[in-house]
A and B are shown apart, each in its own frame.
Chain A
Amino acid sequence: MGQNLYHKVFDRHCVAQLASGQFQLFIGLHLIHEVTSPQAFAMVREQNLSVPFPELTFATVDHIIPTTGAGRQRPLQDPLAEEMLQHIEQNTADFGINFFSPDKNDQGIVHVIGPERGLTQPGMTIACGDSHTSTHGAFGTLAFGIGTSQVADVLATQTLAMAKLKVRRINFTGALQPGVYAKDVALAYINLLGVNGGVGFAYEFGGEVIDRMTMEERMTVCNMSIEGGARCGYVNPDQTTFDYLKGRDYCPEGEAWERAVADWQSLASDADADYDDVIEIKGEDIEPFVTWGITPAQSVGVAQNLPAVDSFAEADQLVVREAYEYMSFEEGQPIVGTPVDVVFIGSCTNGRMSDLREAAKFVKGKKVAAGVRALAVPGSQEVARQAIAEGLDKVFDEAGFQWREAGCSMCLAMNPDQLQGNEISASTSNRNFKGRQGSPTGRTLLMSPAMAAVAAVEGKVTDVRNHLEN
């Protein structure tokens, strides 16, 4: 019986088995940002520890940074945000850590810049104090979110204490229908397996649908692993992976590149690899999904009506009722036609070039509906440069979108981009938790960039499949 990538990579990085039964795992790439790292640096200082591998840690600022030019002037208007930015500047300078910063024009969402710079490479172990670290699994890495005490562990030892996960292979067979995107694939497996279906598992995504995806699409699929309870999700590296990485800043070159590719190929799951669980989802069955509730599993195909409370297991009915009450939606109502107040295109889930290009197709030459506030937020300053070079900023601007600078923006309410009152947003981000987008009563409908773009133009949730002539 062959091995899967998870076990091959885990074994390569295993330093020791600890008394607790956990394994000490070497971390090849450590990413940090301003929210979950300041207390970790304080812990390192309090214990008088050093950082033995500063060259394996990379930092950026994404959660708190304003996305308007004026808002980014220093000092930042919000003194707490300014303090956090100063801390990451000082901490990275003190410990010799590379900081991708607005001053150098190379800042961005941590999960956008890792792949974009070629830092994320197959076969790595990657940790970051951020649950969406699973994004990097698209490259065939073991990439997972950690807490702040663990950030301090990695700073001080470049290792983590980790238990071995089980591995579930999810095969997406066949092909996606027009109007169905990587985001819908993500929402589909979460809908099917639930928000805790992946607890204890790493998800290996495969099958024809995944094989045909671009790296950016695979990142969207892996990004939401944690929303399904799986701490990491990955795709085996293949030619698509290598083509994406070749020539990027931190990738090997020349003969070293050849050695790297051979190594990466050897780490992909063997054809006869063993899995703890295997499931299959037919690509043809996946519809454009929209969430209607307060967990990412509370979703329906856009053409469907909202489910009855008693269609759920009894244990889940409390949270379903809570969702209906919070959202002010009724069982049985169609999701299509739900008016939206805000449209947010961006985030580590859908803030990359292909996301902006796809959304732009549906807004080009159109106008954002009256009364709708629409934001297009590139995931990094590099994405912004490319988008501007392609004229996408103008497409969004002429349609009435606000074209912003790079950051997490309205995904999570730690910067000025927030919902007000009980506004409803059509959002390409990853979480529809209560209050997630900044207002304690704000309501989030998760969907693909194309669906969000159409919602902006129509002012309501709309089936993108009826707009594909664009």
Chain B
Amino acid sequence: MAGKIVTEITGPGIPLRGNDIDTDRIVPARFLKCVTFDGIGEHAFTDDIKGLAAKGETHSFADARFANAAVLVANQNFGCGSSREHAPQSLQRWGIRAIIAESYSEIFYGNCVSLAIPCFTADHETCAQLQAAIESNPEGELKLDIAAATATGPCGTIALQIQPGAQSQFLDGSWNARAGLLENLDQAKAVAENIPYVSNYA
């Protein structure tokens, strides 16, 4: 049971500047009190939005110009902290369908792959250039090509990087790993028989 094939993502961008934006900021823990992910998109960056509003500033996720955005452009170590899938679930339900950043926390990255959210990387200058371009033309659509690893938009075509493994998973629809894992269940059981602790060293 392969998932849908993801070859390109097209939509307006949204800039979010700053390194080390953690999962508690993406979705504060009090909104993790739930047994489904329904409605979690409403809480994306909710405390950061309020914090900036109190100073008379506007967070990107509360800025009407970016309300239809699909491509998030961030900086270093995006999504660090907790393993909560609630963070990418919240971004996805808000409308984010792909991310470009300088780097990611590994658990966050893996969670995004599981949700079919391609995560590209680019150097600081490229991310800054994209963030500025989005701000000057919020309506402009970015077209992300998964196979070519490029972003095409008002500022031309820009080369990005994507992990080859994840890239192939999007292109063949195997980003949801479960189907592939289930195929090897018998092999997994055979491996387990040779792991001594599984039988408590009997």
Contact = CB atoms under 8 A, between A and B. Distances in A.
Interface of A: 12-16, 18-22, 24, 26, 28, 35-36, 38-39, 42, 47, 49, 52-53, 56, 63-64, 78, 80-81, 83-84, 87, 121, 123-124, 129-131, 133, 144-150, 152-153, 156-161, 163, 195-196, 199-200, 226, 229, 231, 250, 252, 256-257, 259-260, 263, 295, 315-316, 318-319, 322, 326, 412-414, 431, 433-436, 438, 440-441
Contacts of A434: 22, 24-25, 47-48, 51
B174 A20 contact: yes
Interface string B32-66: 11111100000000011011000000000000000
A24 B188 CA distance: 9
B33 A84 contact: yes
A21 B168 contact: yes
A87 B165 CA distance: 35
A252 B169 CA distance: 41
Interface stretch (B13-21, B139-147, B148-156): B13-21
Contacts of A436: 24, 29
A440 B103 contact: no
Contact of B18 (A124, A147, A319, A435): A319
B174 A147 contact: no
Interface stretch (B4-12, B77-85, B129-137): B77-85
A159 B19 contact: no
Contacts of B187: 15-16, 24
B115 interface: yes
Contacts of A49: 182
A145 B165 contact: no
B42 to A, nearest CB: 15
B182 A157 contact: yes
Contact of A147 (B80, B110, B196, B202): B110
A26 B25 contact: no
B36 A157 contact: no
Contacts of A26: 188, 191-192, 195
A157 B181 contact: yes
Interface string B84-114: 1110100000000000000111110011001
A212 B186 CA distance: 43
A203 to B, nearest CB: 13
B172 A19 contact: yes
A412 B83 CA distance: 13
Contact of B17 (A81, A146, A195, A318): A318
Nearest to B128: A315
23 contacts: A14-B191, A15-B187, A19-B174, A20-B168, A20-B177, A24-B187, A26-B188, A39-B37, A39-B85, A84-B34, A145-B82, A147-B88, A149-B176, A153-B178, A157-B184, A195-B20, A196-B80, A199-B105, A199-B106, A252-B200, A252-B201, A413-B30, A434-B47
A318 B16 CA distance: 12
Given A153-B178, A315-B19, A436-B29, A199 B103 contact: yes
Contacts of B105: 196, 199, 229
A147 B106 contact: no
A295 to B, nearest CB: 5
Contact of A259 (B85, B180, B201): B201
A199 B20 CA distance: 12
Given A36-B83, A231-B106, A19 B28 contact: no
B182 A81 contact: no
Contacts of A231: 106-107
Nearest to B168: A20
Contacts of B83: 36, 129-131, 133, 145-147
A414 B30 contact: yes
Contacts of A163: 165
A56 B198 contact: yes
A144 B105 CA distance: 13
Contact of B84 (A24, A36, A199): A36
